[in-house]
Structure 1
Amino acid sequence: MSGTLYGLGLGPGDPELLTLKAARLLSSVPVVAYPAPDRGESFARAIVAPRLTGKREIAVVIPMRVDPAPAQGIYEEAAERIAAVLDSGENVAFLCEGDPLFYGTFMYVLERLRDRFPVEIVPGISSVMAGAAAARMPLALRGETLTVISATLSDEEIAALLEHATAFAFMKVGRHLPRVRALLNHLGLASGCVYLERVTLAEEKVAPLAEAQEPAPYFSLILGRRELKR
Structure 2
Amino acid sequence: MSASGTIHGVGLGPGAADLLSVRADRLVRGTRQIAYFRKKGHTGRARSTVDSLLRTDAVEIAMEYPVTTEIPLDDPAYNACLQAFYADCTERLAEAARGGEDVVVLCEGDPFFYGSFMHLHSRLSGRVPVEVVPGITGMAGAWNATGLPITWGDDVLTVAMATLPEAELARRIHDTDALVVMKIGRNLPKLRRAVAAAGREDAAWLVEYAAMPEQRVTRLVDAENVAPYFSILLIHGQGRRP
The normalised TM-score by structure 2 is 0.90
Unpaired stretches in structure 1, ≥5 consecutive residues: none
Q: Is the 8 A contact 1:192 1:226 kept in 2?
A: no
CA distance in 2 between partners of 1:229 and 1:80 (Å): 50
Among 8, 23, 29, the alignment partner of 1:6 is 8
**Structure 2 residue matching 1:64: 3-state secondary structure:** coil
- C-alpha RMSD of the superposition: 1.6
Displacement, 1:142?
1.3
Among 129, 153, 173, the alignment partner of 1:162 is 173
Displacement, 1:152?
0.5
CA distance in 1 between partners of 2:109 and 2:118 (Å): 13
Q: Is the 8 A contact 2:174 2:200 kept in 1?
A: no
Displacement, 1:149?
0.2
* Cα offsets for 1:38-86 (capped at 9, x unmatched): 2422110000012223211111111212433311111100010000011
CA distance in 2 between partners of 1:9 and 1:205 (Å): 23
1:56 counterpart residue number:
59
Unpaired stretches in structure 2, ≥5 consecutive residues: 73-77
1:138 counterpart residue number:
149
CA distance in 2 between partners of 1:191 and 1:19 (Å): 35
* Cα offsets for 1:106-139 (capped at 9, x unmatched): 0011010011121211111111101111001212
- Whether 2:95 is the aligned partner of 1:84: answer yes
Q: Return the letter of the residue paired with 2:59.
A: R
Q: Is the 8 A contact 1:150 1:172 kept in 2?
A: yes
Q: Return the letter of the residue paired with 1:183.
A: A
Structure 1 pair 229–23 and aligned structure 2 pair: CA distance change class (3 A): closer
Over 4 Å off, 4+ runs: 226-230
- Whether 2:132 is the aligned partner of 1:121: answer yes
- Aligned length in residues: 230
2:47 counterpart residue number:
45
The normalised TM-score by structure 1 is 0.95
2:232 counterpart residue number:
221
CA distance in 2 between partners of 1:146 and 1:203 (Å): 26
Q: Is the 8 A contact 1:11 1:124 kept in 2?
A: yes
- Whether 2:58 is the aligned partner of 1:74: answer no
- Whether 2:41 is the aligned partner of 1:35: answer no
CA distance in 1 between partners of 2:240 and 2:211 (Å): 32
CA distance in 1 between partners of 2:33 and 2:238 (Å): 49
Q: Is the 8 A contact 1:134 1:199 kept in 2?
A: yes
2:207 counterpart residue number:
196
Q: Is the 8 A contact 1:189 1:226 kept in 2?
A: no
CA distance in 1 between partners of 2:130 and 2:239 (Å): 43
**Structure 1 residue matching 2:175: 3-state secondary structure:** coil
Among 219, 222, 229, the alignment partner of 1:211 is 222
CA distance in 2 between partners of 1:133 and 1:182 (Å): 25
Q: Which moved more, 1:153-162 or 1:110-119?
A: 153-162
Q: Is the 8 A contact 1:11 1:125 kept in 2?
A: yes
CA distance in 2 between partners of 1:163 and 1:208 (Å): 18
CA distance in 2 between partners of 1:149 and 1:39 (Å): 29
What fraction of aligned residue pairs are identical, expressed as a percent? Answer: 37
Structure 1 pair 55–162 and aligned structure 2 pair: CA distance change class (3 A): same
**Structure 1 residue matching 2:52: 3-state secondary structure:** helix
